[in-house]
Every structure is written in structure tokens, then in C-alpha cells.
Homo-oligomer: A and B are copies of this chain.
Amino acid sequence: MTATALYASRMWPPVRRGAGEATDSTLDLLYRLGLVARTGATGVHTLLPLGLRVHERMSAIARSAFEERGALTFAAPTLQSRALWEKTGRWQAYQAEGALLTVRSSSGEEMCLAPTSEEIAAATVGEHLRSFRDLPVRLFLSTSKFRDELSPRGGLMRGREFTMADAYTFDASTHGMRESVAFLNDACTAALTGMGLSGVFQARADGGAISAGPSTEHLVLSDAGQSTIVACDHCGNRGDGAVTPALPPPPPDAPVVNVIAFILTHPDGDIQPAAVAIRSDLKVSTRKVAAATGALRVALIEPQDLPGILGKEAGTLTPWDVAGSPDTLLLFDSSVAELDEFAISDGGDGLRSGLSWEGDRRLPALKVSGRGRDLAEAVDGSRCTRCPGTHRQVRAVEVAHVFELGTQYSQPMKLAFTDTAGRDAVPWMACSGIGITRCMQTAADLHRDHHGLRWKPGTGPADVHVTVLRADQAQMRERTDRLVQDLTARGLSLLVDDRPLAAGEKLRYARLLGLPHAAVLSPDRPDDEIEVINRWTGRTTITQTSHIPRMAAPG
């Protein structure tokens, strides 16, 4: 963004007296101060002039972080052909989730509105890839993405249309991919730090619709967040409950054991039923079952399908039943293995209580003490595996996500290169995504105080809020013009409040909008003196124009 001055007297929407209150929610402030606007389409926003500048700065910060580390920036289109997305099976997968927005041209061509860019990035690289000498390739882009959210909510936090800054890497080996994953995590960290997001931490995560492999979320603790994670109250180890190693929480007074049935799909395509015995107050993590069994996919058997597969009604399955079905894998969660006494289904509507693995003679083959595995989702009260601490559930905002993709996309898309030995090989991919639109609102929410918004240097709608007192006086207009010329020439962007209003109202607006510095031009001060108020410290300094750029510099 070039260094320019915007004037409050000519802003759109107009800066009205009293618009916005310090007690407004962050989202209401973004609306009432004219940064963003609703559009009538659910989960879709317009970026107004002040908000667009925040968005552009955050997008540019992300781009610089990736380019400085060697990535090349390109731009993939919104419209992407169905044929491209069918190569990886994701047309159907996203459709099944109901997350894909699709269009059909009048000539009958089907396209989707890009929710992410794995396919087009792989196609862009695949078309020109020949030899290991062409690798690694690291591409960055920051474009609009689309997701058919059933209930878009939280303003910019989860929309149908949003900006994602994503990056895709292609390597000649697993080792190369791991280096690229480190590059992606490093660049995401630099980008988020540059955006002024403090307290970002990384956590193991579930790859979801993007990746079957390991992934890392970058999160910020926030009650406005839509991610629930577990955090150890002692060592601080944090992560998605579905993948974070944990010991079970202490058992309830009268523990009940449930047996939950799944279908595993193994890498060779074989499918196999599996049953997991778990305490009824806990939930099986399919990601942990996959990790424990080596299965590619783990899918719950629906109640109506259970009788056909295991011969039992839902809720009546016991380890005895499974033990009699030799093809079915029987697994015990550690929450069950350590129980002294428990109840379990009596095969009908009731429970048999008072059982123990040791005491019940009919279960010697099923004795599980010491053999339980960590198959449950970590929850509030789970115990840390790294220290004697206890997990607490906290809410967080996912601001970035880094995925190991392996050959999950490059293989079905038939990407190939000639390796050092002259053989055909498939490149290893990884990717990352930073939610630019979400970061805008998260930064605003994280930093606001009881006076209003507060932007870190380099991230707000402008660098300096110039408040001109007695803006109706010709002499003050001249001083304003000189200051604007001087500061923009020194690379600062300005918001000049030249409205004919009282000082109090104008200073209130400056605090509410929260640019990192306000410069107050007053007729009561000599020409070469200017009052600079730091929005973060609240401190006022009397200084000269030439000192302002150093004061307003980011970092």
C-alpha cells in the first residue's frame, strides 16, 4: 500500500458523531466504524475503505513472510473445473460434506468455487515438472476462498467467502517434505507475528477434509474461537483432543463400558470391522484408532447397519460378542483397561454390573490390564502424558494450519519427476493456510480495550490518526497540509480528522478506531510542535514532525 492520506470529512461511510461505543462488541465496532459491512448474502461481507486497508496489509505481511523465505506468489482462479477436482476424489468428498459451492455454465460445464487450492497448485506444478533438479517448488497465493457453511457466524470468523493465504510445497522425498513443513510453520509464525497476533501457539490437529496425515494448527486462545483444544494445566502441552496423547480422567463412581463398532479401511484396500471398548463418559477418537491400527480410514458403523455386520443391535455389543467373531479386531481403550469394577450391556436393554476383568472367569482371554491403548479423545480432566498435569478444555481461534500431504494429491493427479537414479517418482506435498479475514477480526478482538479498537503498528487502517483541532481555521488547514505532505513523503499512511467538531469528540473517535498513534495538531502549540499519543501506552509526547516515523515504525 502506498503512503496516502484519507480524510474523515470525505470518508465513506461518513464518520458520524457518536458512531460506535467503547462498550460495543468487537464485531459491532468493525461494523459501526465502517470497516466492513454485511451484504444481504449470509456469511458474505464487503470490505469498506478502512477495512480493506487492514485486509491488504495483513495479506501483504503474509506474502512477504513467504516470499522472503523463497516462495513464489501466483494467483489461482475462483472457478475450478469439476474434472480437476474429480481426479483427487474431492468433488464428491466436499459435496458429501455439503461444503462445495458449484456452478454450471449455460454450455453445461460444471465448476466449483475454490475452497482450497491443492488441485490447482498440483496441476500448475505438474504441467512443468521434469526432474529432481526442478524441486523443491514452493508456491504462495492469497485469494478468496468459498465454503458452503450451513451456519456462517461470528462476522468474519467463519464466512461463505473469505480470504485465505495458502502455500503449497513439492519435494523429491519425505525428508524434503519435512523441511518444507518446517518452512511452512516458520513462515506462518512470521506472518502471524507480523500481523500483531501475540500468543500464537501450535497444536497437533486433525487434517479434516485436507489431509489424512499429521497436521499442525496455529491457534490463539480466545473465547470467540470455534476450536476446542485441551491444554495441560502444568506443562502447557496443547492440542486437538482427537490427536493429543492422554491418560483417561479418573473414573466415575459406577463406570459403564461401551463397545463401539467401526469399519477400518486398510492401505491395501481391505476392509475390516473393529470394536473399541471404552468408558461411556469418553468418546472414541477415529484418528487415534487409525494411528493404532494403521488404517487409512476409520468410519463408525451406523446403528441400522450393525445387525448385518456384527449380528447385534446398537448399544448391546459386548467384548464376548466380538471375541466370537474372529475377523473383528477388538481394542480396549486405556480407560477400560484400568477399571476394577464396571457395568456392561446385558445384551438387551439392561446392564450387568459388578464385573471385573480379573474376577469374571469367563473372560480370561479378554484380560486387558496393562494392554489398554490411548483411543479416546482427550477432554477436560484427561491427564497429561508428559507430566503429572491435567488437561483443561479451552476455546481457541485457528488462524493457520499446516498439513503434511505426502502423495495424497500428487499420486492421483499423476505428478511425476525423474529422480537422481533416473527413475520416475512422485513428488511429496505439504501445504498451509492462513485465514486472513479471520485474522483481521481476531487481531481486533485480541487487542481491543475498554476505549475501543487498538491496532499493532503496521496492521491498522493507517499508521497515524491526525487529529486537527480548529480545522475550520485557514492557518490550521495549512499546517495540516504541510504535515500530510511531510509524513506521507516519509512513508506513513494517515487518517486525517478534519471535521469541524470539538476536540473531545475527535479524540474519542481516535481512541475508538485505535490507530497505534494519534498526532494532535493544535492552534495552542507552536508550528514545530506536535502532540503524539500512543494508543498502547496512553502516553503523550510533545515532539517534532521528523520524529514521528521512528515512533510509528512497526516492531
Contact = CB atoms under 8 A, between A and B. Distances in A.
A398 to B, nearest CB: 22
A469 B386 CA distance: 57
B39 A105 contact: no
Contact of A80 (B41, B120, B146, B148): B41
A103 B105 contact: no
A48 B75 CA distance: 7
Given A11-B72, A67-B4, A101-B103, A109 B77 contact: no
A102 interface: yes
Contacts of A40: 80-81, 83-84, 123
Contact of A107 (B37, B55, B150): B150
B80 A39 contact: yes
Interface in A96-116: 98, 101-103, 105-107, 109, 111, 113
B139 A12 contact: yes
Contact of A46 (B12, B76, B106): B76
A124 interface: yes
Contacts of A44: 77, 79-81, 111
A84 B150 CA distance: 21
Contact of A79 (B41, B70, B106): B41
A13 interface: yes
A64 interface: yes
Interface string A123-134: 111011010001
A74 interface: yes
Which has the most chain B C-beta neighbours within 10 Å: A74, A120, A160?
A74
A45 interface: yes
Nearest to A163: B75
Interface of A: 2, 4, 6, 10-14, 34, 37, 39-42, 44-49, 52, 55, 64, 67, 70, 72-81, 83-84, 98, 101-103, 105-107, 109, 111, 113, 120, 123-125, 127-128, 130, 134, 137, 139, 144, 146, 148, 150, 160-161
